Amino acid sequence: MIDKHIVAFGGDGFIAEPENKLSANFLLSLARKPREASKHRVCFLGTASGDATEYVSAFYARYSGLAEASHLNLFRREVKNLREFLLSQDVIYAGGGNTANMLAVWRVHGVDKILHEAYEAGIVLCGTSAGSLCWFECGVTDSFGLDLAPLYDGLGFIEGSNCPHYDSEGLRQPQYRKFIMEGFPGGYAADDGAVLHFINGNFVEAVSSKLAARAFEVRKQKNEVIEKPLPVRFLGT
């Protein structure tokens, strides 16, 4: 049986901490063995940011020395066969931005179906912010305007909901708790620097590239919302 990995970042800090490669090395440790003697292949999907060039550049700064890095533009298509290109990767990384727009564009191009095929094949799927909550059934997003709102049409590779940026955006925690209290599916929340790792749809562990970064399982029990702190393994020394 092939292990299927989802790695969801509360916030990865590409631009703020380009030299911090702890989480990148963790991702590569999960990837299947690279072909022959080559490096792992890691592809960046910058769809949520409109394929912003500065975000793509930050990805290359993080991964170029560690892996064979590439990116896939969907607003300015440069790859003819999307399926062949994505299924040749060992890790696919979705960046942050507007989750709802990203999912819509993926569905127009059939990328959602290709990502499901990649997941089943054991390619590590991961991402930060929008690229974190997209793998879940639902999540907390600012995609629809200036306020946080529930998003219900995630890819659904992981059951339940996700809330990134739990410590860095002041409204995330109270709004997530409010949504769950009102009937939103429970799930997982992560601070910036915290990383949630799932295998075959099941939560395995939380790790972090930043000291004191936290992760939680958040559920409604009877008439209250319970935040269960998860052990977080710091990836540094």
Catalytic entry in 5, 40, 71, 165: 165
Determine the Cα angle at 59 with ends 166 and 72, to 5°.
105
Is there a catalytic annotation at residue 116? Answer: no
Is there a catalytic annotation at residue 129? Answer: yes
Q: How far apart are CA 198 and CA 207, in angstroms?
A: 11
User: By the 8 A CB rule, do 27 and 40 touch?
Assistant: no
Catalytic entry in 23, 49, 129, 161: 129
Q: How far apart are CA 64 and CA 140, in angstroms?
A: 31
Please list, in sequence order, all residues whose beta carbon lies within 8 angstroms of the beta carbon of residue 42, skipping any fewer than 6 positions away: 27, 28, 63, 66, 67, 68, 69, 70, 89, 90, 91, 92, 93
User: By the 8 A CB rule, do 15 and 58 touch?
Assistant: yes
Catalytic residues: 129, 165
